[in-house]
């Protein structure tokens, strides 16, 4: 007998069709969900990149913190793709680790930052990011690539399935990183949540929301430490912990904020001075412990260089006669710091305009260093200000210009170019004078490049260092270049009068520059000058200059002060 063929029941066929339909619906639902998770994970990792550098900048400086960041980040992204390739479909496990790692990063950074002197610079930033941010970037790329597998790109061919996710991830990461850097440069510090440490916790929370896991229980100790004891966090009680820690090292915190140029704080020392800090440098300071009856009109600074800058008033005009009276004179100051030099100019009765890019620096100078109110303040980029002023139909011109920007390896390079110096020259009166402060390593060609650029614009200059050469144990020095508009006669300083000292003993001894340098020293490294289009020339020496400045700053304040920010 022929074998009967079993015909499936209609109910079974219907059941199979329903199962297929449900599978298709689930798959179609999972596609957008997986795509969104992949994008969010990638954006979080990219946003973390500039935040990681901001966390390390107060301890190592912004330039050293960036030396190895880009190449190792690229290696981390490539490693993420390799990891995803070898793990195949199991790569989704990477996602469960990410929230845990994100919550632990601030604590790990806190621990490693305490070892900054032992780790050194730039090794310290490299080691810290290798065990914190780079694993986060690597695992984020791997997890994103895994989630993108749900899109089933293989149906479009092997080439598209292999290369489109890689190209898309690389492009999206780069775009998100640049966008985050731009946003932070505009709005960092504008609220308690727009602080690099607070943003770290916010990113960790978002990771946890989209990638929930039981592993998050292991993040509780780090989270509790971050909220209660991590001094880098911007909360009231963590600030109190920070102040208590600093007091144990002989310093007291008066104020702190994160701003456009970095971490800004004001510290009082038991040795009797108050200083303003920006990342791993001091913008200036003044002595606060003075004799009872000693009351100068402008406090003595801890650095004599700021008193030297005031000597721009003493430069004699080309005709050798007296200068215009102070009350009839105008001054432009590029860069405020704590305001020592502009405060002196204001006290002499000079109509003074200050250009400062960082609003927090200006606020702290007014609040903590008694900076006078009778001045014109321009909170803006100096390049933009000079360009606007130069293009006016009748530009404002000044008897004195003081150029004192944040130097020491982290100077804004645009403020030392030929074009910027020519812009300043156009704002100087015919009998005007300019003083330019530059801090740098004399052993590097960058110092000569800057000095030659200045002397190419101003025909008659003299250069003075802050301290005598015999007292220096390093090639890193602070110097002032004094110049005048017309160069037919040598630049000379008039003898200071009692009124020039503003009742200050330091000004009596340090106002008139003493330690002159031979300009020919800066011709040894060549004849080249710095143009805006060639700014990369100076940038090439930026890292070495910054590391030299870092070592110097570690002799000014103890490591424990720099590490506790």
Q: How far apart are CA 72 and CA 52, in angstroms?
A: 13
Helices (DSSP H) in 257-377: which residue ranges? 305-309, 340-347, 359-368
CATH class of 10-234: mainly alpha
- Predicted confidence at residue 26, as pLDDT, reads 39
CB atoms within 10 A of CB 81: 19
Helices (DSSP H) in 270-373: which residue ranges? 305-309, 340-347, 359-368
Q: Which residues make beta-bridge pairs with 278?
A: 264, 281
Whether the CB-CB separation of 234 and 259 falls below 8 Å is answered with: no
Pull the structure tokens for residue 269. Answer: 């020392």
- Predicted confidence at residue 8, as pLDDT, reads 53
Helices (DSSP H) in 398-478: which residue ranges? 418-426, 445-457
Helices (DSSP H) in 391-541: which residue ranges? 418-426, 445-457, 505-510, 536-539
Q: Please give the DSSP secondary-structure letter assigned to residue 473.
A: S
- Residue span(s) of the chain under CATH 3.40.50.150 come to 304-563
For residues 234, 240, 241, 242, the Cα torsion angle rounded to the nearest 10 degrees is 70
Pull the structure tokens for residue 8. Answer: 């499936």
- Predicted confidence at residue 49, as pLDDT, reads 96
- Residue span(s) of the chain under CATH 1.20.1250 come to 10-234
Bond before 188 cis per omega within 30 degrees: no
- Predicted confidence at residue 500, as pLDDT, reads 97
Q: How far apart are CA 293 and CA 224, in angstroms?
A: 50
Tens digit of each residue's pLDDT, the chain (565 residues): 455 555 555 554 445 554 445 444 433 446 788 888 999 999 999 999 999 999 999 999 999 999 999 998 999 999 998 888 777 654 456 788 999 999 999 999 999 999 999 999 999 999 999 999 999 999 999 999 888 877 776 666 666 666 677 788 888 889 999 999 999 988 998 888 889 999 999 999 999 999 999 999 999 999 999 999 999 999 899 999 999 999 999 999 999 999 989 999 999 999 999 999 999 999 999 999 999 899 999 999 999 999 999 999 999 998 777 889 999 999 999 999 999 999 999 999 999 999 999 999 999 999 999 999 999 999 999 999 999 999 888 889 999 999 999 754 466 889 999 999 999 999 999 999 999 999 888 888 888 999 999 999 998 999 999 988 876 667 788 899 999 988 788 999 999 999 999 999 999 999 999 999 998 888 876 788 989 988 877 777 788 888 988 998 999 999 999 999 9
Residue ranges with strand state E in 71-221 = none
Whole-model pTM: value is: 0.90
CATH class of 304-563: alpha beta
Whether the CB-CB separation of 402 and 334 falls below 8 Å is answered with: yes
């Amino acid at each position: 007998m022929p074998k009967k063929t079993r015909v499936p029941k209609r109910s079974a066929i219907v059941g199979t069709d329903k199962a297929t339909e449900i599978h298709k619906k689930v798959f179609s639902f999972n596609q957008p969900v997986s795509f969104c998770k992949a994008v969010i994970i990638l954006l979080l990792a990219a946003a973390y990149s500039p935040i990681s550098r901001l966390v390390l900048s107060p301890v190592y400086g912004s330039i050293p913190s960036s030396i190895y960041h880009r190449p190792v980040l690229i290696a981390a992204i490539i490693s993420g793709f390799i990891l995803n390739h070898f793990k195949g479909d199991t790569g989704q496990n990477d996602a469960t680790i990410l929230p845990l790692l994100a919550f632990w990063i601030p604590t790990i950074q806190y621990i490693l930052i305490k070892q900054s002197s032992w780790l050194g610079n730039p090794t310290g930033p490299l080691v810290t990011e290798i065990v914190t941010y780079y694993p986060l970037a690597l695992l984020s790329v791997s997890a994103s690539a895994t989630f993108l597998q749900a899109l089933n790109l293989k149906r479009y061919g092997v080439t598209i399935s292999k290369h489109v996710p890689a190209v898309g991830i690389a492009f999206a990461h780069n775009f998100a990183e640049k966008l985050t850097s731009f946003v932070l440069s505009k709005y960092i510090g504008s609220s308690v949540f727009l602080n690099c440490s607070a943003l770290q916790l916010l990113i960790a929370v978002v990771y946890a929301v989209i990638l929930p896991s039981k592993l998050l229980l292991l993040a509780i100790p780090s989270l509790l430490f971050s909220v209660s004891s991590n001094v880098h966090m911007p909360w009231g009680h963590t600030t109190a912990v920070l102040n208590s820690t600093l007091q144990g090292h002989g310093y007291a915190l008066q104020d702190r904020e994160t701003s456009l140029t970095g971490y800004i704080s004001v510290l009082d020392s038991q040795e009797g001075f108050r200083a303003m800090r920006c990342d791993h440098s001091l913008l200036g300071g003044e002595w606060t412990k003075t004799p009872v009856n000693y009351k100068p009109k402008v406090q003595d600074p801890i650095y004599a260089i700021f008193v030297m800058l005031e000597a721009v008033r003493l430069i004699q005009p080309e005709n050798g006669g007296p200068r215009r009276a102070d009350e009839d004179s105008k001054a432009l100051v590029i860069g405020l710091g704590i305001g020592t030099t502009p405060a002196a100019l204001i006290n002499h009765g000079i109509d003074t305009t200050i250009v400062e890019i960082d609003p927090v620096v200006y606020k702290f100078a007014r609040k903590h260093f008694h900076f006078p109110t009778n001045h014109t303040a321009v909170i803006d980029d100096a390049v933009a200000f000079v360009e606007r002023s130069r293009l006016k139909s009748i530009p404002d011109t000044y008897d004195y210009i003081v150029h004192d920007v944040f130097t020491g390896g982290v100077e804004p390079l645009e403020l030392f170019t030929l074009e910027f110096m020519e812009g300043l020259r156009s704002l100087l009166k015919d009998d005007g004078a300019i003083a330019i402060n530059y801090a740098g390593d004399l052993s590097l060609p960058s110092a000569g490049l800057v000095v030659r650029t200045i002397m190419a614009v101003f025909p008659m200059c003299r250069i003075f260092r802050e301290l005598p050469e015999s007292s220096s144990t390093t090639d890193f020095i602070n110097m002032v270049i004094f110049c005048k508009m017309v160069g037919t006669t040598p630049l000379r300083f008039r003898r200071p009068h009692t009124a020039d000292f503003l009742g200050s003993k330091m000004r009596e001894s340090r106002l008139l520059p003493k330690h002159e340098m031979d300009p020919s020293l800066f011709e040894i490294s060549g004849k080249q000058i710095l143009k805006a289009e060639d700014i990369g020339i100076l940038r090439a020496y930026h890292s070495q200059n910054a590391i030299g400045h870092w070592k110097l700053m570690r002799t000014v304040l103890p490591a424990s002060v720099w590490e506790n920010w």
